[in-house]
Amino acid sequence: MSSNKESVGGADNMSDDLVELSDEETVQIDGEESAKPTNESKENMDNSEDGQKRKCNSEAWTHFINIEVKEEGKMVKKHQCIHCKKRFTVQRTKTTSHLLRHLPKCTGIKRLKGKKGFINFQPSSSDNASEYNLNGGYDHMKCREIIAKMIIAHELPFSFVEYYWFNELMKYNNPFYQKVSRSTIRKDCMRVVEVEREKLKKVFKSVDMISITSDCWTSNQTVGYMCLTAHFIDSNWKIQKYIIGFSELAPPHNGEVISDAILECLIKWGIQDKIGTITLDNASNNDRAASILKNVFKGKGKLHFEDLFFHVRCCAHILNLVVQDGLGTIDCCLVKVREGVKYLRKTPGRLLKFGEIAITLGIPTRRSLCTDVKTRWNSTHRMLESAMHYKLVFQGYALRDSNFEWSPTDDEWARAEKVCKLLEVFLVATKLFSGTLYPTANLFLVEIYKVKKVITNAYESKDEFLNKMSAPMFAKFDKYWGEIGVLMSIASILDPRFKKLSVSWTFKKLYSADEVDDRVEDVIVKLKSLYEKYSDAFQMARASKYNSTSTSCVAQKNGEEEDFMTFLKTMPIETSQKSEVDVYLEEPSYIVLDNQEFDVLKWWGQSSSKFPVLSKMARNILSIPITTVASESAFSAGGRILDDYRSSLTKDMVELLVCGGDWIKSVSKATIQTLEQSAKEEENLEVQIPTSDEAFN
């Protein structure tokens, strides 16, 4: 164990450099008298027989210390292994051969190297986990790097490295560990993030097109931040997302400020010419920012999808607006249920009485009673659903407690039931949009159709309440369907299981019979128009490569024959009458068995040799995010990093910790939580209904 000199109170006096632990540590061996190390240093602690001091350069001194122990009534010098605490006699010749022979058999070193006979943790799933093995011995700088990554990824304070018991643990695991200060680990974190930044820049250089999502957030210090996330499909046909900016946003947060901040971040990364789409919330300042950015990219001739879908509106946000319009029609019932649940949660006695009434009425009490968050409509739906389960209990409790004023009327309950049934399809779509793995755009068309179909049925219903409630929902959804419908339709066609069938089937259920064919043909025309642009770019790139190859062939030495394969690659492509789009659409759909999982990106990766142009286009379209969930999820981390105790962090350090944490988690394959999962963890929205005295325990 470390001496008391290694206390928490001395942390503030540490320098920015490594702080070595004291060599004068006391080691207590069970069953023997206390042993203390000698005062001589390792460099000149021993004298040779001729009286000359000699330096101890042997490798053994990395693993042994000199101590004095009491044997037969007198103090005797011994060599002690710092790993297994085994002692050896000091040779008169001062040789260390017997010490070196001990090292391969040392049980302490075997434990460090993970040999059999010791309990080991499961190996890391990280792709670069092999660089942290101990076969090459302990590397203190590598240990500091791992600690820095741990602090960034798990949002720990820099002072974590100065905690007394953390240092005790590290010293116990490896005596070579040296304590570091918060200033040192802060610099280590900056170096770690800078290394990850350079790696990511290299990745961006190999990507043809990047889609970005952005959202704004206000911290507990009322400081505005903008998060910018890059999305793309890598060379292995895996969808990737990285937070590339978490910058402070100067007020006012108008379109000009937002567009300037986004453009500045893109230029800093060198990807301003690779942006295909930008996904933003449905707000006027975001519309203005998207228009400014679109004008900039159009002026430079860098619009990847012509003028089709540069600005993508967040579907999750649109659904939220649609749902809020519907919930507004039963606002009175919402207020009563929300305030009633709050009233019941205030004391265990009220909840117990509520549970006893439920048992008397024969209503199961396994279901929790939920409250909601006004800005999260799915929590409002959950609150209403749980309240309707206890509908009769609410009425019975109001008769027994004169202070309870929040029991909805029968008409309000009926309306709430209709709304809940209507919103169930929204829940499925929202879970897909806010999914953990951020699914590709080919999956959204059918789910959006279900939402639109439910709203249309309610709008055309003879039920006066449903008709009135769905009118604003129908108008708002129809306003944005035209913008997102084309993107979803083209992405769905690029799914080999669906092709034109998904669009034809969906449009038949959404539009009248006389306009279905025209709408389907319009989508196909836009798909082929995009393909022609990609084909022209592909031919130009090939021609450029052909010209460079021809020039190199001319420059060859006289008499040197060019390789036949090189000549073959320079031959122009023979264009057939049918394009890749026509061939793809005419082939039968890919059949997937019921128990078989299908990866659309893997399919296109395997088919890239057959469809070289169309696969490149599919890579870019399928990577387009239709929600800002990836950017919004960063605000949970931002809220934890910028808590009340760390509000003095500079804006550069906040960006470093948020972005760096995202990069390190991506490398370590850490699980990305959905917004719904985060909400459940951060807020106590549910309360169990007690039915006995356990409510007071």
Given a cut of 60, is residue 135 above it in pLDDT? no
High-pLDDT (> 90) share of the chain, %: 24
Select, from the ranges 7-21, 42-56, 394-408, the one with the highest average predicted confidence (pLDDT): 394-408
Other CB atoms closer than 10 Å to residue 663's CB: what's the count? 22
Q: Looking up tokens 């470093």, which residue turns up?
A: 656
Given a cut of 70, is residue 119 above it in pLDDT? no
User: Is residue 227 a contact partner of residue 633, using CB atoms and an 8 Å limit?
Assistant: no
The pLDDT assigned to 367 comes to 84
User: Is residue 662 a contact partner of residue 228, using CB atoms and an 8 Å limit?
Assistant: no
| Sign of torsion over alpha carbons 179, 185, 191, 196 | positive
Rounded distance between C-alpha atoms, residue 318 and residue 672, angstroms? 23
Given a cut of 90, is residue 120 above it in pLDDT? no
What is the per-residue pLDDT across 31-77, written as a single tens digit (0 to 9) for each?
Answer: 334 444 444 434 444 444 444 445 556 778 778 888 888 888 888 88
Whether a cis peptide bond, with omega within 30° of 0, leads into 252 is yes
What is the per-residue pLDDT across 274-326, written as a single tens digit (0 to 9) for each?
Answer: 999 999 888 889 999 999 999 999 888 888 887 778 888 888 778 888 888 77
- The mean pLDDT of the chain is 77
The pLDDT assigned to 282 comes to 81
Banded pLDDT at 188 (limits 50, 70, 90) = very high
Given a cut of 80, is residue 23 above it in pLDDT? no
Structure tokens, 588: 């039968």
The pLDDT assigned to 637 comes to 55
Domain borders along the chain are 32-113, 206-314+628-649, 441-554+580-591+602-622
User: Is residue 182 a contact partner of residue 11, using CB atoms and an 8 Å limit?
Assistant: yes
Least confident of 34-38, 87-91, 487-491: 34-38
Residue 310 identity: F
Please report which helix (H) or strand (E) contains residue 347, including its range.
none
Helix (H, G, I), strand (E, B) or coil at 240: strand
The pLDDT assigned to 265 comes to 94
User: Is residue 229 a contact partner of residue 244, using CB atoms and an 8 Å limit?
Assistant: yes
What is the per-residue pLDDT across 346-361, written as a single tens digit (0 to 9) for each?
Answer: 888 998 999 999 999 9
In terms of C-beta density within 10 A (0-12 exposed, 13-18 middle, 19 or more buried), how is residue 37 classed?
A: middle
Q: Which residues, at least 6 apart from 290, have a Cβ–Cβ distance to it below 8 Å?
A: 259, 278, 280, 310, 311
The predicted model scores a pTM of 0.70
The pLDDT assigned to 309 comes to 82
Given a cut of 90, is residue 638 above it in pLDDT? no
* More confident call, 30 vs 520: 520
Given a cut of 60, is residue 214 above it in pLDDT? yes
Least confident of 88-97, 426-435, 441-450: 426-435
* More confident call, 282 vs 620: 620
* More confident call, 111 vs 539: 539
User: Is residue 628 a contact partner of residue 317, using CB atoms and an 8 Å limit?
Assistant: yes
The pLDDT assigned to 55 comes to 52
User: Is residue 88 a contact partner of residue 78, using CB atoms and an 8 Å limit?
Assistant: yes
Give the mean model confidence (pLDDT) for residues 140-147. 90
User: Is residue 205 a contact partner of residue 180, using CB atoms and an 8 Å limit?
Assistant: no
Residue 283 identity: A
Architecture of domain 206-314+628-649: 2-Layer Sandwich (3.30)
Given a cut of 80, is residue 431 above it in pLDDT? no
Given a cut of 60, is residue 665 above it in pLDDT? yes
Banded pLDDT at 133 (limits 50, 70, 90) = low
Banded pLDDT at 573 (limits 50, 70, 90) = low
What is the per-residue pLDDT across 491-513, written as a single tens digit (0 to 9) for each?
Answer: 999 999 988 888 988 888 878 88
Give the mean model confidence (pLDDT) for residues 523-533. 91
Least confident of 26-30, 104-108, 520-524: 26-30
Q: Which residues, at least 6 apart from 94, have a Cβ–Cβ distance to it below 8 Å?
A: 46, 48, 54
Least confident of 277-286, 421-430, 449-458: 421-430
